[in-house]
Amino acid sequence: MVRQHWQGILMGLIIVLAGILFNPFSANAEELHWGFKKAQDEIPPDAGSPFNEILDKHGAIYKGNPEEKTIYLTFDNGYEAGYTESILDTLKKENVPATFFLTGHYLTSATPLVKRMVSDGHIIGNHSYDHPNMANLSAKGMEDEWTRFDKKLKELTGVERTIYVRPPKGIFNEKLLSVGNELGYRHIFWSVAFVDWHEDKPKGKDYAYHELMKQIHPGAVILMHTVSPDNSEALPSFIQDAQKEGYTFKTLDDLIMEYEEIFPVF
């Protein structure tokens, strides 16, 4: 009887341990890492029911209407490497809108470019002030990251505040989404991405172009970084060829209006 009792306890521990090892939503509930299987053949990716349920609960978005050939361009800027001006030139020439998710460091180190983003009509997104792991912060720490950014942005550009936020490295938890909602922020993730953040390891224009073209899909929210020449060089051809395939480029404001069923499309 005693032996059976200890066998039962051991089996219970094994089951619990297996659950911890193979279910990241219980083992690591305080730190979720955004991810999905890349899109192919213009079929939108699916992040899976656990992610979808959490995001839907808090109005967080990573893709748009799967029936509309629309693309939403977003860029993450942590520091300036000399390629953002070219990207802005392309966006202006092609008359394409974008959202730039910036850090506090970028605001203060590349202020003229930030001012140009605003004057060119692009949206400024909040990528936190110090680029920390936001999931590890207290509610007050989360608020400080976002509001410090907004205060500096207003000081430098006159923009009152940001609405769209994106967690550094895609690390988040439900608390982060909830606190953001309470403060009037909306989390925007992405459905198209590739390794493009190594300034010292460029892979060439063709690499970026083909990654974008093979992953695009209706409602794509594209994440790109501006620290490599690859994206800067590939962007003109990508925009032109995507448009030839019937895609249009819209803003995150348009995406939110669709999501909120101001124009019911989902």
Catalytic residue among 76, 150, 196, 230: 76
Residue 150 pLDDT class (50, 70, 90 cuts): very high
Annotated active-site residue in 131, 150, 225, 230: 225
Q: What is the pLDDT of residues 97-129, one digit of tens each?
A: 999 999 999 999 999 999 999 999 999 999 999
Q: Is 76 a catalytic residue?
A: yes
Contact 71, 216 (CB under 8 A): yes
Give the DSSP per-residue string, 147-161. HHHHHHHHHHH----
Q: Look at residues 29, 33, 26 and name the one whose alpha carbon lies nearest to residue 47.
A: 33
Average per-residue pLDDT for the chain: 88
Q: Does the CA dihedral 125-127-130-134 come out positive or negative? A: positive
- Say how many residues make up the chain: 266
Query: Which one is the CATH code of 68-255: 3.40.630.30, 3.40.50.720, 3.20.20.370, 3.90.1310.10?
Result: 3.20.20.370
Q: What is the pLDDT of residues 45-72, one digit of tens each?
A: 999 989 999 999 999 999 999 999 999 9
Instruction: Tell me, yes or no, if 41 is annotated catalytic.
Output: no
Mean pLDDT of 154-160: 98
pLDDT for residue 43 is more than 80: yes
pTM: 0.87
Strands 220-225 and 70-77: parallel
CA angle 90–205–67, rounded 5-degree value: 65
- Which residues is 74 bridged to in the sheet? 99, 223
Minimum mean pLDDT range among 24-28, 122-126, 127-131, 183-187: 24-28
Q: Name the residue ranges covered by the structural domains of the chain.
A: 68-255
Rounded Cα distance between 95 and 2, Å, is 76
**At residue 231, does pLDDT exceed 90?**
yes
> Binning pLDDT at 50, 70 and 90, where does residue 216 land?
very high
In three-state secondary structure terms, 91 is helix
Average pLDDT, integer, range 211-224: 97
